[in-house]
Amino acid sequence: MQFIESALALIVTLGILVTIHEYGHFWVARRCGVKVLRFSVGFGKPMFSRYDRHGTEFAVAAIPLGGYVKMLDEREGPVPEDQLDQAFTRKSPGKRIAIAAAGPAANFLFAIFAYWLLSVVGVTTVAPVVGDVKPGSVAERMGLSPGMEIISVDGEPAANWRDIGASLLERAGEYGQVRMTVREDGRTSEHSADLQGWRLDQDEPNPIDLFGIAPYRPDVPAVLGQVMEGGRAQAAGLKAGDHIEAVNGTPVEDWFALVKKIQASPEKTLTLTLTRDGQERQVDVTPARHETEDGQVIGLVGAGVKPVDWPDDMMRNTRYGVLAAIPHAVGETWGDTRLTLIAIKKMVTGLLSLNNLSGPITIARVAEQSVSSGFEDFIQFLAYLSVSLGVLNLLPVPVLDGGHILFYSLEAIRRKPLSEQVQAAGVRIGMAMILTLMVFALYNDLMRL
């Protein structure tokens, strides 16, 4: 069931972003006088298609991992004499550059719209309050302590942990001072420390964790929020609202400690000491044996935690007016663009592992999680992925939009196109690079499973 949900989330996510990207190419091509033969969402044989009054075929194809806009082009076959003026190859380098750049531009515009929408509707986030500081870390050298709320990093405002993570990612591998402004008990103070070449050397880096900060989380008591039908918990007589105090006589600190004990005891009977309606009682339960996707055997009883509310003073609601939201949305989009470019730079320089490349499987899983989390998370995920798609397509790699822009720019400078041999060699190199990255990203996806 989860596989189906992830697949559907991937199809919807890529369908939205691909349609937006290709529509950018299509819209500008039409206005530059180029005849568009086909607008396809997906690759392969069309499952559905229709033609408009200009003769353009709009199609939805069977493989939902991309899309394309096919234009009248002399390189792909003979063009009727009366349609030569509508051929892509007959347009000036400036118009061809505009058409190639329109796809990524549409992705950036969509991200701006998405962030504008979230800004107008209002976004609720958790205040970035320090929960704990790891010994020997940069955070400890800086003098951070539990209870401090981080309000800026190197002078850049930090409204949430996402902002802080992005700022720390930018400083990875650097030397010199990193500065943070914090608030504690109503007073603000400045803290700084020498990075000393602090690096992100894990396969899946978490800048905040590696910096030495554990974000504050409210305590989660071992209280059952739900009991699944047909599960071992229901068979043992457990009910929603039961507060588990101890397992086999050993006190349970919180929900996570309870889960750890249950998972470590498949098919072993456990005696739970619990409180129900103010009375203490004991219940025997035997966790069912369950094998995870990575081959581990754990115990499950079929019960869920009772949700915990965050303290009101920890919640931050941000909302802008219709006009004030525009510069904020542009700033958020620019921030995502910088973060993507920084991540690419750090991968190239070795400060960030290539194991962080993600393919369709990871995108599907994150898409499914964001859909499950609600409207805000899904729209924010779409916006960030749209920016990433726009940035990657602008890289000067042949076969990508950026590679086409590079070729057309050189043609404008030289006043003649590059030779067919040079362009063909560039396409082969670009295809090899893209296929290598795709295979590597897919391999990373499978390893994460």
Residue 99, CB-side half-sphere exposure with 13 Å CA sphere: 24
By C-alpha distance, which of 254, 294, 368 is closest to 5? Answer: 368
Cβ-Cβ contacts under 8 Å for 429 (sequence gap 6 or more): 398
The residue annotated as part of the active site, out of 5, 22, 184, 368, is: 22
Record the tokens describing residue 97, joined without a space. 């550059």
Angle at 38 between CA 33 and CA 43, to 5 degrees: 140
Based on the residue annotation, tell me whether 190 is a catalytic residue of this protein.
Answer: no
Rounded CA-CA distance 272/247 in Å is 5
Instruction: Determine the longest span between alpha carbons in the chain, in angstroms.
Output: 91
Rounded CA-CA distance 58/50 in Å is 5
Record the tokens describing residue 328, joined without a space. 């904020």
Calculate helix-pair angle for 2-31, 360-373, nearest 10 degrees.
100
Rounded CA-CA distance 167/169 in Å is 5
Cβ-Cβ contacts under 8 Å for 428 (sequence gap 6 or more): none
Rounded CA-CA distance 419/208 in Å is 50
Strand partners, 361: none
Q: Which residues are catalytic?
A: 22
